[in-house]
């Protein structure tokens, strides 16, 4: 499963995997793909350094990358977290309290800090992550919310690091190309997390045409080798997979209840909601997302206010595994995620499916597969 881009990066398979879990990213890199560690949950630089040290020890000298979140548009500028939190209306705080009380969600223990903070969505936090990351031999820097600022792109290039940015439309992709981005990830409507409104089958060739000759990765709704073959047939030089790794044995969800919900979910059990971060993000549909999407409620706040507002609530829901409210960002491919497997097993299945798809097309085209 080699392409020009995979050869440039020195990887065996053109499979790029985004994950918040170092063990998953390292396992994918060792399996011949390209692991990309999500940095958004690292609010302390020392924690990111610790896990990058671990990545160095467990990737056998093979390449890996880092994904940060630097919003293209800022809801607020020039203020810190405390000042931003002060902007949250009391009406929204009351709504959170009422929703949690309705489901009997216990409080955190006295003195226990929220384990889930969204400060990683703030540009100054992402910049502190980069101060750490560029001390390591990362080969790719990806930004989940558009093109990074010009100085970040230049800094990455000075370190010999390629820069990727996610795009939900051909217009976004052209903007990335003009900003000096090296790789565009065409992320379709089906994808988990922040995503746009155009489906992958339409989006991928549009983006390929819009930014040629820049390499494009297909993303959104991809979880089989046959779908990888389709993405490459549409002109992509690889695929960007995220959701499929959530039910691998290396994933650190720390919640059997959440894993069970993912394994049981069908492709129609997700929703694009602003409940988590303030921007539309595909996630499991739960009574939590329903509450925020209800017109009778106050509605989500813009990023990063919404993430700060719900941080403690999400921690409580996760800690106590309150099943009706328990969810996670995940794409429509969740319908295929019906068993726990290792990362290596997933990669093996993807490559076998890819080979079968290529053989099938060769037979249709009248070419021998011998």
Q: What is the pLDDT of residue 123?
A: 75
CB 26 within 8 A of CB 65: no
Would you identify the CATH topology of the domain 4-74+118-251? TIM Barrel (3.20.20)
Answer with the residue of higher pLDDT: 345 or 87.
Answer: 345
Angle at 58 between CA 52 and CA 60, to 5 degrees: 115
* Other residues' Cβ atoms within 10 Å of the Cβ of residue 364: 8
The encoded tokens of residue 17 equal 């995997």
Q: What is the pTM of this model?
A: 0.92
Mean of per-residue pLDDT scores for the chain: 93
Could you report the per-residue pLDDT of 15-37, keeping only the tens digit for each?
999 999 999 999 999 999 999 99
Q: Number of helices (H) and strands (E), helices first, in the chain? A: 14, 11
DSSP secondary structure string for all residues of 239-305: EEE-GGGGGBTT-----HHHHHHHHH--TTSEEEESTTTSS-EEEE--HHHHHHH-TTS--PPPTTH
Contact 30, 12 (CB under 8 A): no
Phi (first) and psi of residue 17, to 5 degrees: -120, 115
Residue whose C-alpha is closest to residue 148's, from 68, 45, 217? 68
Task: Give the residues across from 341 on adjacent strands.
Answer: 248
**pLDDT digit string, tens, across residues 141-186:** 999 878 999 999 999 999 999 999 999 999 999 999 999 999 999 9
Q: Where are the domains of the chain?
A: 4-74+118-251
Q: Is residue 320 within 8 Å of 122, Cβ to Cβ?
A: no
CA distance 62 to 56: 9
pLDDT for 226: 97
């Amino acid at each position: 499963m080699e392409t020009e881009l995979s050869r440039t990066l020195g990887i065996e398979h053109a499979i790029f995997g985004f994950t918040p879990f170092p063990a998953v990213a390292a396992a994918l890199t060792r399996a011949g793909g390209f692991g990309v560690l999500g940095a958004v949950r690292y609010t302390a630089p020392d924690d990111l350094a610790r896990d990058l040290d671990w990545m160095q020890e467990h990737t056998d000298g093979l390449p890996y990358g880092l994904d940060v979140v630097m919003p293209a548009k800022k809801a607020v500028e020039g203020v810190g977290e405390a000042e931003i939190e002060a902007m949250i209306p009391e009406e929204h705080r009351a709504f959170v309290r009422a929703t949690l009380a309705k489901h009997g969600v216990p409080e955190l223990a006295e003195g226990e800090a929220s384990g889930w903070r969204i400060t990683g969505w703030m540009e100054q936090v992402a910049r502190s992550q980069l101060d750490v990351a560029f001390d390591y031999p990362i080969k790719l820097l990806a930004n989940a919310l558009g093109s990074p600022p010009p100085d970040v792109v230049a800094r990455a290039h000075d370190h010999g690091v390629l820069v990727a940015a996610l795009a939900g439309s051909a217009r976004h992709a052209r903007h990335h190309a003009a900003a000096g981005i090296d790789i565009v990830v065409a992320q379709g409507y089906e994808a988990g997390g922040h995503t746009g409104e155009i489906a992958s089958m339409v989006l991928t060739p549009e983006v390929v045409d819009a930014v040629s000759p820049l390499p494009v990765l297909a993303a959104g709704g991809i979880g089989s080798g046959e779908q990888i073959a389709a993405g490459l047939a549409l002109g992509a030089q690889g695929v960007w997979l995220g959701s499929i790794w959530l039910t691998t044995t290396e994933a650190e969800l720390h919640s059997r209840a959440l894993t069970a919900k993912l394994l049981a979910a069908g492709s129609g059990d997700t929703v694009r909601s602003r409940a988590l971060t303030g921007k539309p993000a595909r996630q499991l549909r739960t009574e939590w997302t329903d509450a925020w999407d209800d017109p009778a409620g106050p509605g989500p706040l813009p990023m990063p206010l919404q993430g700060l507002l719900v941080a403690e609530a999400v921690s409580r829901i996760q800690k106590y595994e309150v099943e009706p409210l328990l969810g996670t960002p995940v794409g429509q491919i969740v319908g295929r995620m019906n068993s726990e497997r290792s990362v290596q097993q997933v990669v093996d299945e993807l490559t076998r499916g890819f080979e079968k798809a290529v053989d099938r097309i060769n037979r249709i085209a009248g070419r021998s597969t011998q």
